[in-house]
Structure 1
Amino acid sequence: MNIDMERYIRQLMIPYFGEEAQEKLLSSKVLIVGAGGLGSPVIMYLSSAGVGELTIVDFDAVEKTNLQRQVIHAGKIGWNKAESAMEFVSKLNPDVYVRTLKEKIEPGNVMDIINGHDLVVSCPDNFRTRFLLNDACRIKGIPLIHGAIFEFEGEAMTITDSSPCYRCLYPEAYPEKTPGIIGATAGVIGSIQAVEAIKVLTGLGDLLDCLLRVDLLSMELFKIEIKRRDDCPICNGRLRQIYPENYEDSCRIVTY
């Protein structure tokens, strides 16, 4: 594989990274769901690191209120966010091939959308999509990087076949409202997601084996141990396909 040594030299200089890790990134296919506050830094840092293929999913349009945290969309109010992100990546790193999907993640399409990817990065702003991605990725055996933000706070979690899943943390959704967010909080949590993604794809370093909670107002980080729940239908293998009735209201599993 032909590596642009000048472009990636600063990461190639890391002794335990080198060309082998770079080749793994260049041959990887990553799905990013959401090109908003979390998706912006994820897209920026995975494309600049040289992940070979990105699929970016977002049905929403760029609004002026987004620009306080969704910095990759500067100057593109009214654009579809996935298309805007693709244009950003094309200028940042032509090594990266980008596919866009301008649609919502739904029970009827989630399995097809995640299929063929080495990793999924979850950057939506709602529980329903997070549960859909968690369940589909566990069924298909695809690693998932979770992130969420609120005001000055955020959380991240790396979910693999050997780890607890998102439903072990949240068995069901709780009432949601549009939160206030400090833009830099999205940058911090999205950057953590990007680092975890690079570690998964290259096999370097220890993955988050817990929930990482970050409070940037007090500058405190908490690692919270999450154990697999014996009654989790995802982790115990009872749920083997996606049923629409599991993603209504509280998103509690009601059908196996």
Structure 2
Amino acid sequence: MLSRKELQRYSRQIMLPEVGEEGQKKLAAARVMIVGLGGLGSPVALYLAAAGIGELHLVDGDHVDISNLQRQVLYKTNHRDKSKAQVAAQQLTAANPEIRIYAHPCMAEESWLRDRVPEMDLVLDCTDNLDIRHVINRVCREVQRPVIMASVQGFSGQLISFDFAATSSPCYACLFPPGQQSSAQNCSTAGVIGPALGVIGSMQALEAMKMLLGLPVPSRGKLHLFEAETLELRALQLQSNNDCPICRH
């Protein structure tokens, strides 16, 4: 049963028929890993913590820099040079002390992920590093854990999720084969508008909650493209690639 405090804290989402008390219990029992605590990871972590996700694992090896503050809304000026994972854990604990939050101030290396992803119910890729994204994709596919991936560059955002419990699911490498995006840029090289990260991060958190609640997830196997300049949102269905080096194994 939910406690009186939980019923009060989460009352506005519990009253939704798509959630209810049973749905809130599912959220409280969920274990979610967020990889990357920057412009996407900030809104994702804030919304999932506020929603009552029972266990959040925060993974980021970077420290807060003043150039982050334009878009990474978890951090303040006095957090400069401190570990993002540890500061984020402190901020989220202050926002919701009823959930369990674990800081992992390290880079998401493949062997590390292989040890920990099997313990998770869901992984959210909020990184801007293409190599790490491919590692997350590979590990999640191997251990059959769902993953929701997002990215933003300039005014343009992307969102897609994969449920690897379904053997027919495509993967990120079907869409973007490894080694074919060596010139890909990130926020530090191409620039980014902060609110676009808020939009895509909020969508990522929303898809995570729906996945954990067992609701339809429109981004599953479908690439959503958002253009902040025009507010245009469109979706492209992704098909499995028979030549994908990850899916063939």
Gaps of 5+ in 2: none
Alignment of 1:39 with 2:41, yes or no, is yes
CA contact (8 A) 2:225 2:235 kept: yes
What's the counterpart of residue 248 of structure 1?
none
> Which sits farther off after the overlay, 225-234 or 57-66?
225-234
What are structure 1's unaligned runs of at least 5 residues? Answer: 239-256
Once structures 1 and 2 are overlaid, which stretch shifts more, 12-21 or 26-35? 12-21
Amino acid across the alignment from 1:232: C
- Residue 244 of structure 1 corresponds to none
What's the CA shift for 1:172? 2.0
**What is the CA deviation profile of residues 26-66 of structure 1, one whole-angstrom value per residue up to 9, with x for unaligned ones?**
00000000110100001000000000000000110011110
Please point out which of 191, 210, 224 is paired with 1:180: 191
Contact 1:82 1:101 in 2 (8 A): yes
User: How many angstroms does 1:235 deviate by?
Assistant: 2.5
Matches within 5 A, 1:1-256: 1-3=1-3, 4-74=6-76, 75-161=78-164, 162=166, 163-173=169-179, 174=181, 175-177=183-185, 178-209=189-220, 210-236=222-248, 238=249
Q: Would the aligned equivalents of 1:55 and 1:101 in 2 still touch at CA under 8 Å?
A: yes
Higher mean alpha-carbon deviation, 129-138 vs 73-82, is at: 73-82
Read off the aligned partner of 1:157 and give its amino acid letter: I
Query: Does the residue aligned with 1:186 lie in a helix, a strand or coil?
Result: helix
Query: Identity of counterpart residues, as a percentage?
Result: 40
Contact 1:47 1:96 in 2 (8 A): yes
Q: How many residues align?
A: 237
The TM-score, its normalising length taken from structure 1, stands at 0.89
Contact in 2 for aligned 1:147/1:193 (Cα 8 Å): yes
TM normalised by structure 2 equals 0.92
Residue 172 of structure 1 aligns with an amino acid whose one-letter code is P
